[in-house]
A and B are shown apart, each in its own frame.
Chain A
Amino acid sequence: MLKQIEGSHAVAEAVALCRPEVICAYPISPQTHIVEGLGEMVKSGALAKCEFINVESEFAAMSVAIGASAAGARAYTATASQGLLFMAEAVFNASGLGLPIVMTVANRAIGAPINIWNDHTDALSQRDCGWIQLFAENNQEALDLHIQAFRLGEELSLPVMVCMDGFILTHAYERVDMPTQEQVDAYLPIFEPRQVLDPSEPVSIGAMVGPEAFMEVRYLAHAKQMKALELIPGWADEFRAAFGRDSGGLLHRYRTEDADTVVVALGSVLGTVKDTVDELRRDGQKIGVLGVTCFRPWPLAAVREALAGAKRVVVIEKSLAVGLGGIVSSNVYNSYAGGADAVHAVIAGLGGRAITRASLARMLRDAVAGRLEPLTFLDLDQPLVERALAREREQRRSGPLAEAILRDLGVVAARPG
């Protein structure tokens, strides 16, 4: 059924349709509306046979999910940013134990300096924790990916992180098509755990593994994710057959068939990128867009194939490998047969800075003209940066960096973007 609702509520409704049994979450902007929505549904009885637990920290949230999942219940939680870091130990624990927990990450920057706005630092900080990581392009895909996530996770016995841009998607009202309970029930069977805490068949879960077997255990975790690469496209096909639309899968290609330049990105920025690319296409530029939906496991072969015809690749990412460059870009270098020189890392939108068509168009024209550096920070205020560095050179006690920069910027009016 078509609805015009907030992204968070779309996700809450979709999660509810998946018949979760234990929901445990700790509030953090910008995930709050998701959990509030689910909490209300449980309390009112609209979502039945579900325990909603108000936990005292994100570490507790993931831990409660671990206990619930190990005991055979379908478990869900949501977090962002600092909260994801606070539960990091438990995040690794969940994947190490092979528990199919589903978690929404409402992508947000990580402090210091504290910042509540969107970027991908949080999810990508956990990229190697063993969870499957999926990135939604819009709220339709966000709600669809949650339905797929429970299925994926339970079939593989792996936890799944569904990432959606904080505020940009979570707090945006847009049209979505909400499936029916019947549709979801047909697609998502009852949870049959691979391992379960059950007095009638006692098992010990979580014992120590020493050097004699640890390599093998970790290899198997890797092998399982590689298996996911094989299975995800098939599940996306099944989803299309059941729900009538393309959602999920490993990646989405847009006008890449004859493209000389391909732009690679994750998440909601893809929408703006596509509008920009259409504009440039009208000018005769042969540009295409590759949206990566499944970030972990990294779809190396599929990305390589999608980029095969391109002469140059521009990776736009809301993340930064401090001291190195791009995170997503680093993953792309491995996947592009044409050599690392042709791959440009464009760091953009950190801490919620708006990524505009105008800036993208300018940058892409530079790329096509061979003027784009291997590593660029989009819309960086160069003079501001230079003043900050000069301050530090002149004075040992140069003061807190962020505060000094803000003062330098002057009064910050409530201006959009």
Chain B
Amino acid sequence: MTAAEMLSIAAFREGRHAQAFPSFGSERTGAPVVAFCRMDEREIRLREPVLEPDALIIQDPTLLHQVDVFAGLGAAGRVLINTTRSLEQLGLKELAGKFRFCSVPATELALKHVGRPVPNAALLGGFAAIAGLISIDAVAAAIREKFSGAVADGNVAAASAAHEYVMREIAEGLHA
């Protein structure tokens, strides 16, 4: 849930309205969790789950074939996947033309900069690079609101690294 929260805080820092919420369940580690975030210039009144996302962040690619993550994703919708593997290796090759994929080794970056395999902050840094919706600065500020001290520093570093990675990826046109 923390990633969606931080995303909403980043959007807030840039003056937008944002709504973040989980698809609700009991507190249990290991269960599949979906979280949503809406961002808008105006007040958000809608409360239904996000059924037609503009973008997806996939934190755990092992769920790709257990849950229909792409349901409702708009044409040319953006997808950011936490992985070191290629689309083909993930079994998503046939979707390559339908959506715009980017990947980032968020878990690895988190291990490197934070010392724990918690990819949330890194994913947001990567997301800032593709969506054009939030800046990396806003992401950093949101991270510092949630964490402090060395943990915050590490997460900001991971986010920045992920941001650079994805920027390069897009520039090199590796993914559509």
Bound Cα distance from A138 to B33, whole angstroms: 24
Q: Is the interface of B mostly helix, strand, loop or mixed?
A: loop
B108 interfacial contact with A, CB 8 Å: no
- Whether, in the assembled complex, A173 has its beta carbon less than 8 Å from a beta carbon of chain B, the answer is yes
User: In the complex, A2→B13 CA distance in Å?
Assistant: 10
Q: Are B19 and A171 in contact (CB under 8 A)?
A: no
* Interface class of chain A by DSSP: loop
* Interface residue tally for chain B (C-beta within 8 Å): 34
Residue among A117, A173, A356, A414 making CB contact with B31, cutoff 8 Å: A414
Whether the Cβ atoms of B33 and A414 lie closer than 8 Å is: yes
- Contacting pair B48 A272 (CB below 8 A): yes
A354 touches B49 (CB 8 A): yes
Most buried by A among B26, B32, B46, B68: B46
Q: Chain B nearest CB: distance from A10 CB in Å?
A: 13
Instruction: Tell me whether A415 and B9 are in contact (CB under 8 A).
Output: no
Cβ–Cβ contact B8 & A173, under 8 A? yes
Asked whether any CB of chain A lies closer than 8 Å to the CB of B76, the reply is no
| Pairwise interchain contact A356-B45, C-beta atoms closer than 8 A | no
Residue of A nearest to B11 (CB): A4
Interchain CB contact under 8 A, A414 and B48: no
Which residue in B5, B25, B46, B51 is a CB contact (below 8 Å) of A173?
B5
B20 x A272 contact (CB < 8 A): no
Judge if A400 is at the interface, Cβ distance under 8 Å. Answer: no
B22 partner, pick from A171, A274, A275, A352, beta carbons under 8 A = A171
Taking a contact as CB atoms closer than 8 A, the residue among A6, A272, A358, A415 that contacts B47 in the complex is: A272
- 7 further interface pairs, Cβ-Cβ under 8 Å (given A272-B45, A415-B71, A416-B34): A168-B21, A173-B8, A173-B20, A355-B47, A358-B51, A416-B50, A417-B23
B interface residue numbers (CB < 8 A to A): 4-5, 8-9, 12-13, 17-26, 31-34, 36, 44-51, 63, 66-68, 71
What are 5 inter-chain pairs, A to B, with CB distance below 8 A?
A: A6-B5, A173-B20, A174-B20, A271-B47, A358-B51
Which residues of A pack against B, CB within 8 Å?
2, 4, 6, 29-30, 116-117, 138, 167-168, 171-175, 268-272, 274-275, 352, 354-358, 413-417
